[in-house]
Amino acid sequence: DSGVTQTPKHLITATGQRVTLRCSPRSGDLSVYWYQQSLDQGLQFLIQYYNGEERAKGNILERFSAQQFPDLHSELNLSSLELGDSALYFCASSDSGSLYIQYFGAGTRLSVL
């Protein structure tokens, strides 16, 4: 168990809908990262937050957004969903003592029908 908790584990929705994925980092970790994993693209970095502020952006679509709350949990919002958004979404966290090592949650599997 990495200590990173993601909910829900599975999400099935329809095109055009909006969903929210939730992540609780390891206790004390200030950095949260979101990644998307699809069969043909591997693990792709989406966005990073550090102590409530956006730190870096990767290949994140404008339809997607995220935030990190004062209690350090994070949410990834996906809107106007398309079939191609079906993927595994992972959250990872890292601490100030080992900022390179990222610990991953079990992921949320999103299926857009």
Partner 1 sequence: GESVGLHLPTLSVQEGDNSIINCAYSNSASDYFIWYKQESGKGPQFIIDIRSNMDKRQGQRVTVLLNKTVKHLSLQIAATQPGDSAVYFCAENMGLPGTALIFGKGTTLSVSS
User: Whole-number minimum distance, CB 90 to partner 1, in Å?
Assistant: 5
List the structure tokens of 54: 């956006």
Q: How far is CA 107 from CA 22, 28, 43, 53, in A?
A: 10, 20, 12, 22
Using alpha carbons only, how large is the chain's radius of gyration in Å? 13
User: Whole-number minimum distance, CB 15 to partner 1, in Å?
Assistant: 25
Contact positions toward partner 1, by CB under 8 A?
2, 4, 31, 33, 35, 42-45, 48, 50, 55-56, 58, 90, 92, 94, 99-107
User: Whole-number minimum distance, CB 78 to partner 1, in Å?
Assistant: 18
